[in-house]
Structure 1
Amino acid sequence: MDIHKNNVFHFVGIKGSGMSSLALLLHQKGYKVQGSDVEKYFFTQHELEKENITMLPFAEENIHDGLVVIAGNAFPDNHIEIQAALKKGLTVIRYHKFLGEFIENFTSIAVTGSHGKTSTTGMLAHILSGITPTSYLIGDGTGHGEPEAVFFAFEACEYRRHFLAYSPDYAIMTNIDFDHPDYYKSIEDVYDAFQTFGMQVKKGIVAFGDDPYLRKLDVTAPIYYYGVNDTDDFQAQNIERSTTGSHFDVSYKNEKIGTFSVPAYGLHNVLNALGVIAISYLEGLDMKKVAEEMLTFNGVKRRFSEKKVNDMIIVDDYAHHPAEIQATIDAARQKYPTKEIIAVFQPHTFTRTIALLDDFAKSLDLADKVYLCDIFGSAREEVGTVKIEDLGAKISKGGAVVHVDNLSPLLDYHDSVIIFMGAGDVQKFEQAYEKLLSSTRKNIM
């Protein structure tokens, strides 16, 4: 589609993480932007409010002549605003299709994978932006539109094969794992989606070398594998992990290309950095500048976001898959090696909980103590037969269920790290705990 400065873009579901990012990007590029959504508060709307972008409650009267309607993937074609737009003969385009056409104007880098997309996209956007004009969309609701952008870095989600709308110049593929069991039938089905997407990449794929499914990719673009083994094209060596971050050398085809430090925790962040370094190297960027920019990367929203309240370290994290839980606990162990680690986990969707029950228990047992919140169901699924107590019964480190109006069991811990994990509304548990902690330990410094 042709995009003109006189277009007014109306976002149906503007508070969605991808939608809010795109709205911010178009606004900063000088386009007129507005949107609608439910009235419930979402953390993504903070940046929209800062930019004075109009947000309206869903209503048919929001739709008028002159709009180009970008529809969020969560909303069906019979949604009241989408129907109103179609009746008026307005252009209605889905988020992923719009983005697929928009990226053709740049050197585009898609970041995809079952886990690590948001953190890797955030790091890539930060580093590229520090070196050359870059626009980006990050899955934590962050978007930025640079008028003279050379690069376009964006998160490409595999859910419902939405990423097949994109034909980027490059792709970083972090891993292939079985997730979204409400859509994908098996790990082979997930692999098939990534294989199809890989065939659409133009210049090159940077892929994690330890992933057996990524090693099976058969595509026309060259594949550059990254990891810690001699079989990887981009290899991290001499890794030193400390309480301030991780330090490592990087070689490409056995020749050292630089030394890097990332102020983030967990081996997964070393690997994320390696993928970003690989893209930067392939595009001919100065490795010393890449290393300098990496030093100032502060992470992304809801990925190991921490604060200290009285004597406790409170961590908020989006981890909602066993592999992500394991990575988050690993990061906590690295930064706080002497502290007790308490996990508070809210499963996201009944289908994922049923499919991965044993794996959830195994990853949560890496914490010192575990508490559970009721399963956060999705509007796109029926309530399943699995109960939160079924998961609790499999966890040897605890598994007691806590409720937002009774978090007193969490007050038993002192000078420890407590991690609230989940993709639902686990933040309300964290906020309730923080309030309870503040009111009961006023004299602790």
Structure 2
Amino acid sequence: MTNYHFTGIKGSGMSPLAQILHDIGHEVQGSDIDKYFFTEKPLHDRNINVLLFDENNIKEGMTIIAGNAFPDTHPEIVRAKELGLSVIRYHDFLGDYMDQFTSIAVTGAHGKTSTTGLLAHVLSGYSPTSFLIGDGTGKGEEDAANFVFEACEYRRHFLAYSPDYAIMTNVDFDHPDYFQDIEDVFDAFQTMAMQVKKGIFACGDDPYLQKIQAPVPVLYYGFEEHNDFAARNIEKTTEGTSFDVFIRNELFHRFSIPLFGDHTVLNALGVISLCHYEKVPADIIQKGLETFEGVKRRFTETVIDGRIIIDDYAHHPTEIKATVQSARQKYPAREVVAIFQPHTFTRTQKFLQEFGESLSLADQVYLCDIFGSARENAGDLTIQTLADIIDNSHILQEDSVDQLLKHENAVYLFMGAGDVQKYQEAFERKLK
């Protein structure tokens, strides 16, 4: 048993890693700033001690796992080095840790978190599986055979890993504060592909993923005929989606998922492809698919007084389109009301037209002030800039959520990666 201290324990990767190490019997504590993050609830549920940053948290005999946001000059890291303790960066620790399992990285511009959650759930029904998901949830199994984790392309962070398998959902231009263009994004995925040890499962409907070169087999899944794993005879209802899976043009099995929208079929196909390769029987795959309850902030529903409220992390035009499509499939008779908070000025500026087009797919659009990053300059850009290109859109403040009440038979989509939840909470208070 090791005694671990996490510097920056509320991070979206750090918190699940702390949960995993706690679950398999290690002593775990950590520190962070004095602000509530949704990633900390699972830590409190496990009675993991979450402290405020302080060099006195560091004691003899500890191993320090440090989040990437904290420089070597951070007081806790300085103290640890003075005491001669081992300080390991999050990515380095995770890269070494996964070597003892069949490791599966789930990566892509969109769909990572949902696919990681779905894969972890389905595989757990077959053999013990530890997992680390970017929504802040992790679980460690003492006798785990598999390790499923979300691997993010931002700042090429995922290049710290050499997993056995990778699922690649798509390549799209995002994080314009770091990547130059889509070719730069593709270059990151191409480099990652060269580090995979056993096999890659990639969405073959994505023109960039079709070009991936790798030293291991690349198997493709998708809607189009040329894929190794293809979804056909798709049936969409208000209960979910059913489809046949053909493996190289031979019928494998018909699956049903309690999920909505084309993107959820693709996520499920990636999971089915990998599970088939790992010899998981079709009936166990189906059981996992139908009992999956979703991940945090991905089409998460609340019903108050007959009104359907959806919380979703969608912060890119591609994701907004997918969320609107899901809402239309599940609630065809309801008005779709989008409440969107853009995340970062750089992303808003870069995709201004695309945001306008994707949001216009909703029946009504309400816009919240841009959630900026401390590292960027807003320039002349304001939320009004986006409102000007969307017909009949409205700007929403926390104290003006009353205007949403006039949509009675509606599904409300609260979307964004910042703190859009505060608008949702204000609206829910009004309803109650």
- TM-score normalised to structure 1 length: 0.95
> Secondary structure of the equivalent of 2:332?
coil
Q: 1:443 matched to which residue of 2?
A: none
Residue 257, structure 1, aligned to residue 249, structure 2: no
Post-superposition shift, 1:48? 0.8
Q: 2:372 matched to which residue of 1?
A: 377
Distance (whole Å) between structure 2 residues aligned to residue 381 and residue 91 of structure 1 = 34
Q: 2:24 matched to which residue of 1?
A: 29
Query: Match for 1:417: what amino acid?
Result: V
Residue 100, structure 1, aligned to residue 100, structure 2: no
Residue 80, structure 1, aligned to residue 75, structure 2: yes
Residue 360, structure 1, aligned to residue 359, structure 2: no
Q: 1:327 matched to which residue of 2?
A: 322
Distance (whole Å) between structure 2 residues aligned to residue 273 and residue 39 of structure 1 = 38
> Secondary structure of the equivalent of 2:399?
coil
Query: Match for 1:237: what amino acid?
Result: R
Alpha carbons of 1:382 and 1:64: their partners in 2 closer, same or farther (altered >3 Å)?
A: farther
Q: How does 1:140-155 map to 2 (within 5 A)?
A: 140-155=135-150
Distance (whole Å) between structure 1 residues aligned to residue 81 and residue 162 of structure 2 = 27
> Secondary structure of the equivalent of 2:241?
strand
Query: Which one of the candidate residues 390, 394, 407 is aligned to 1:395?
Result: 390
Residue 427, structure 1, aligned to residue 421, structure 2: yes
Query: Match for 1:388: what amino acid?
Result: I
Cα distance per residue 1:294-321 (max 9 Å; x no partner): 1101111100001111131011001111
Q: 1:303 matched to which residue of 2?
A: 298
> Secondary structure of the equivalent of 2:291?
coil
C-alpha RMSD of the superposition? 1.1
Q: Which moved more, 1:56-65 or 1:425-434?
A: 56-65
Query: Match for 1:16: what amino acid?
Result: G
Q: 2:204 matched to which residue of 1?
A: 209
> Secondary structure of the equivalent of 1:211?
coil
Query: Match for 2:292: what amino acid?
Result: F
**Contact 1:37–1:58 at 8 Å: present in 2 too?**
yes
Distance (whole Å) between structure 1 residues aligned to residue 200 and residue 357 of structure 2 = 32
Residue 412, structure 1, aligned to residue 406, structure 2: yes
Distance (whole Å) between structure 2 residues aligned to residue 342 and residue 80 of structure 1 = 47
Residue 45, structure 1, aligned to residue 40, structure 2: yes
Residue 64, structure 1, aligned to residue 56, structure 2: no
Q: How does 1:122-141 map to 2 (within 5 A)?
A: 122-141=117-136
Post-superposition shift, 1:283? 0.8
Cα distance per residue 1:94-149 (max 9 Å; x no partner): 21111111110000110000000000000000000011110001111110100111
Query: Match for 2:420: what amino acid?
Result: V
Post-superposition shift, 1:75? 2.6
Post-superposition shift, 1:284? 1.1
Query: Match for 2:394: what amino acid?
Result: A
**Contact 1:391–1:399 at 8 Å: present in 2 too?**
no
Distance (whole Å) between structure 2 residues aligned to residue 92 and residue 309 of structure 1 = 48
Q: 2:163 matched to which residue of 1?
A: 168
> Secondary structure of the equivalent of 1:431?
helix
Post-superposition shift, 1:93? 1.7
**Contact 1:351–1:384 at 8 Å: present in 2 too?**
no
Distance (whole Å) between structure 1 residues aligned to residue 393 and residue 49 of structure 2 = 43
Post-superposition shift, 1:357? 0.9
Identical aligned pairs, as a percentage? 59
Query: Match for 1:429: what amino acid?
Result: Y
- TM-score normalised to structure 2 length: 0.98
Alpha carbons of 1:86 and 1:394: their partners in 2 closer, same or farther (altered >3 Å)?
A: farther
Distance (whole Å) between structure 2 residues aligned to residue 278 and residue 343 of structure 1 = 34
Distance (whole Å) between structure 2 residues aligned to residue 185 and residue 89 of structure 1 = 40
Post-superposition shift, 1:77? 3.0
Distance (whole Å) between structure 1 residues aligned to residue 24 and residue 195 of structure 2 = 27
Q: Which moved more, 1:39-48 or 1:126-135?
A: 39-48
Distance (whole Å) between structure 2 residues aligned to residue 420 and residue 285 of structure 1 = 37
Residue 272, structure 1, aligned to residue 294, structure 2: no
Cα distance per residue 1:241-289 (max 9 Å; x no partner): 1111110110111111111111111110010000000000111111111
Distance (whole Å) between structure 1 residues aligned to residue 418 and residue 288 of structure 2 = 32
Count of paired positions? 432
Post-superposition shift, 1:369? 0.5
Post-superposition shift, 1:89? 2.6
Q: 1:181 matched to which residue of 2?
A: 176
Distance (whole Å) between structure 2 residues aligned to residue 252 and residue 369 of structure 1 = 41
> Secondary structure of the equivalent of 2:76?
helix
Residue 286, structure 1, aligned to residue 281, structure 2: yes
Q: Which runs of 5+ in 1 are unaligned?
A: 439-445
Q: Which runs of 5+ in 2 are unaligned?
A: none
Query: Which one of the candidate residues 351, 363, 366 is aligned to 2:346?
Result: 351
> Secondary structure of the equivalent of 2:366?
strand
